[in-house]
């Protein structure tokens, strides 16, 4: 009987660990094609959220909330480089191999305007 209880307890612990959230993941949850595009706000010198997780082939919307300053959504090492005028938005197709990518504003990266894109 004790062996059976220990087995059940171990199974419950393993199940709970497998279902647990990834602490510190933050950002948007991955989306699939055909689902509403996640929105990334570009305000002042930051992106919100600064961590984006999407499925390959997804689209994201980037919105520039600044009235006088253009920003870019530029993914390092790729052809993705979209300039967004003040108070405008753009849709960006994310057709990249799975992995982690750094994105930044070409104009304001030195001010810390950057983030992480995770493609699955």
Q: According to the model, what pLDDT value does residue 90 have?
A: 98
Query: Is the pLDDT confidence value at 20 over 80?
Result: no
Residues whose CB is less than 8 angstroms from the CB of residue 30 and which lie 6 or more positions away in sequence, other chains included: 53, 54, 55, 58, 118, 120
Taking each continuous run of H as one helix and of E as one strand, the counts in the chain are 1, 9
pTM reported for the whole predicted model: 0.71
Domains of the chain: 25-119 (2.60.40.420)
Tokens of 27: 């950002």
Tens of pLDDT, residue by residue over 72-94, are 999 999 999 999 999 999 999 99
Distance CA 76, CA 34 (A): 26
Q: Can the peptide bond before residue 90 be classed as cis, meaning omega within 30 degrees of 0?
A: no
pLDDT digits (tens, 9 = 90+) for 32-65: 445 567 999 999 999 999 999 999 999 999 999 9
Give CA–CA dist 60/15, Å, rounded. 33
Element (H, E) at 14: helix 2-19
Contact criterion met (CB below 8 Å) for 58 and 47: no
User: What is the model's pLDDT at position 12?
Assistant: 42
Write the pLDDT tens digit of every residue in 60-72: 999 999 999 999 9
Quote the pLDDT of residue 28: 46
Which H helix or E strand runs over 58? Answer: strand 58-64
Worst-scoring range by mean pLDDT, 1-15, 23-37, 84-98?
Answer: 1-15
The pLDDT value recorded for residue 36 is: 65
């Amino acid at each position: 009987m004790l062996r059976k209880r220990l087995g059940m307890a171990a199974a419950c612990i393993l199940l709970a660990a497998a279902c647990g959230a990834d602490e510190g993941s933050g950002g948007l949850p991955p989306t699939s094609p055909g689902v509403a595009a996640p929105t990334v706000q570009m305000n002042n010198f930051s992106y919100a959220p600064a961590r984006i997780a999407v499925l390959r082939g997804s689209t994201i919307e980037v919105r520039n909330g600044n009235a006088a300053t253009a920003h870019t959504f530029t993914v390092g090492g790729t052809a993705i480089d979209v300039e967004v005028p003040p108070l405008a938005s753009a849709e960006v197709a994310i057709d990249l191999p799975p992995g982690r990518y750094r994105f930044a504003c070409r104009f304001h990266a030195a001010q810390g305007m950057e983030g992480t894109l995770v493609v699955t």
